[in-house]
Structure 1
Amino acid sequence: MIYLLLSILASTFIFLIFKLFDRFKVNTLQAIVFNYIVACLCGIVTYCKPIDITEITQEKWFFGAIALGFLFIFIFNVMAITAQQNGISVASVATKMSVIIPVFFGIYMYGESTGIQKIIGILLALLAVYFVSIKPNSNIHLKNSILLPFILFLGSGIIDTSIKYLETTYVSENGIPIFSATIFCFAACIGLCILLYKTLKKEFKFNPQSLIGGTVLGIVNYVSIYYILKALDNDSIESSTIFTVNNVAIVMLSSLVGLILFKEKLSIKNWIGVSFAIISILLVTLS
């Protein structure tokens, strides 16, 4: 459970870092690319064995890591476009409600428990995500299409499900650092290609703050992925429990951090969501 707690704290800290980007005028895209480079280096540094490129390319999880690298960048961009066109609340709800995909995958693929207490907890978790994500003076609106939110929902769920499947099926006990590093490496490569394209179109201007912001974000991002993988590696806790508690706790803590540090206002619906989050965590954890 300590690994899950550390992953939740790191993921919540990512929210804090993004909030500070605006204050320090950090270019988000550049910071994201630098973040993937730093996260990759973190995985390499923490890997206990000598790096053998040939050996890595022969790992059964290698092509899955490449696909995840593409998904990381793609879904990030979809998230940004969804926030711009449909609103931040829609992007937040679509991302976090995608937890239902790995939860059902765990129940179907690994025969995880489906007691009434756990089902109620999962349903409350979804309600918690919805209510907490509705910020004051913001309306959830889908405009003319639900395509982008649906892609974001599906993509986020596929990422979580794929990470669980690859970690369970192919990643060795000591292979989490290099597995994570490989995912981040390919995400970084794609990000660098995007920056190169912008450079050729003369749309790129280096932002020094992004290097610092990306470095901090990369370390925290690696920690969040590393510890969620360590939590999933624990056979005593079901993945459906881990993903439910992880997602709803991040939403709840992020809202409380916004309230305490940034003086963000929480509506009655937000507080109802926080209450649902606490109850759902207790129900799912104790089921």
Structure 2
Amino acid sequence: MLNLALSVLCSSLIFVIFKMFDVFKVQTLYAIITNYVVACMVGMLLYDGNIDFKEIASKSWFLGAMALGVFFILVFNLMARASQVAGVSVASVATKMSLVMPVIFGVIFYRETLSIFQIIGILLALVAVYLASMKEKSIGLSKKTLLLPLLVFLGSGIIDICMKYFQENHLDAKEVAIFSSMVFGFAALTGFVFIGIKAVKQPLKTNFKNIMGGIVLGVPNYFSIFFLIRALQNEGFDSAAIFTLNNVAIVMLSTLLGILIFKEKLSLKNWGGIALAIVSIMLVALF
């Protein structure tokens, strides 16, 4: 449970840091790419072994880490675009509701069993995430804006499923650090290719705030993935329970941090979502 709690804490800090980007006028794209470089370096420093790239490239998970790195950047850009077109609330709900995909995956492909209380808890968690993410204005989607949130939903769910797959079939405990490092490394390389193409039309300017923002973001970003994979290796909980607890707890903690740090105000629906989240966590964890 400690690994899960640390993953939740790191993931929640990411939302706080993104909020701070607005305050200090940090350009998100460049900070994100810097953050991936930092996260990759943190993983290499933590790896308990010799870093032999030829040996790493021969690992069964290497190509998967490469694909995941590219996918990280793509999903991030989809989230940004969805926020612009459909609204932040819609993008947030689409991201967090994706927890249903790894839950179903674990039950179908790994024959994980859930008690009736856990099933009720997971269903309540979906409602809780939706209510906690809603703003005062109702969420409305036209046919034109429906595709982006759907792609965010699918992309976030696929990332979680891949994490579960590699943890289950390809990773041992000692390789978690270097696997996470490689995922972030390939995400950084993809980002550099992207801004390199962009630089052909518009020359890039080094900005100290963007670099510092990326450094601050990179450390919790790395550990959010590192501790999540470690939590998935805990045989005391099924992956369905882990993903449910992780996503719902992130919603709760990030919401509370928003209230405490940024004085954000919550609607009755938001408070209802937090209350349901607490109930769902108790049902999933205790039964």
Task: Please indicate the TM-score interval, normalised by the length of the shorter structure.
Answer: over 0.9
Residue 250 of structure 1: aligned partner: 250
1:169 and 2:169 aligned: yes
Q: What is the deviation of 1:203?
A: 5.3
Residue 36 of structure 2: aligned partner: 36
Residue 139 of structure 1: aligned partner: 138
Aligned length: 286
Any residues of structure 2 matched to 1:63-78 within 5 Å, and which? 63-78=63-78
Q: What is the deviation of 1:194?
A: 1.3
Q: TM-score, normalised by structure 1?
A: 0.98
1:106 and 2:106 aligned: yes
Any residues of structure 2 matched to 1:18-37 within 5 Å, and which? 18-37=18-37
Which whole-Å CA distance do the structure 1 matches of 2:259 and 2:64 have between them?
38
Residue 3 of structure 1: aligned partner: 3
Which whole-Å CA distance do the structure 1 matches of 2:21 and 2:142 have between them?
28
1:88 and 2:111 aligned: no
- Residues 217-276 of structure 1 deviation map (CA, whole Å, 9 limit, x = unaligned): 001101111100110111121111000000011011111111111111100000000000
Which whole-Å CA distance do the structure 2 matches of 1:109 and 1:77 have between them?
30
| More moved, 194-203 vs 113-122 | 194-203
Any residues of structure 2 matched to 1:118-129 within 5 Å, and which? 118-129=118-129
- Gaps of at least 5 residues in structure 1 are none
Which whole-Å CA distance do the structure 2 matches of 1:261 and 1:52 have between them?
43
- Residues 156-204 of structure 1 deviation map (CA, whole Å, 9 limit, x = unaligned): 0000000111011101220001100110111000101111122211153
Which whole-Å CA distance do the structure 2 matches of 1:54 and 1:65 have between them?
15
Q: TM-score, normalised by structure 2?
A: 0.98
- Residues 77-96 of structure 1 deviation map (CA, whole Å, 9 limit, x = unaligned): 00000011001111011000
Letter in 1 for 2:234: N
1:159 and 2:159 aligned: yes
Residue 53 of structure 2: aligned partner: 53
Residue 183 of structure 2: aligned partner: 183
Which whole-Å CA distance do the structure 2 matches of 1:172 and 1:250 have between them?
26
Letter in 2 for 1:92: S
Which whole-Å CA distance do the structure 1 matches of 2:143 and 2:207 have between them?
36
Letter in 1 for 2:273: G
Letter in 2 for 1:52: D
Identity of aligned residues (%): 51
- Gaps of at least 5 residues in structure 2 are none
Residue 14 of structure 1: aligned partner: 14
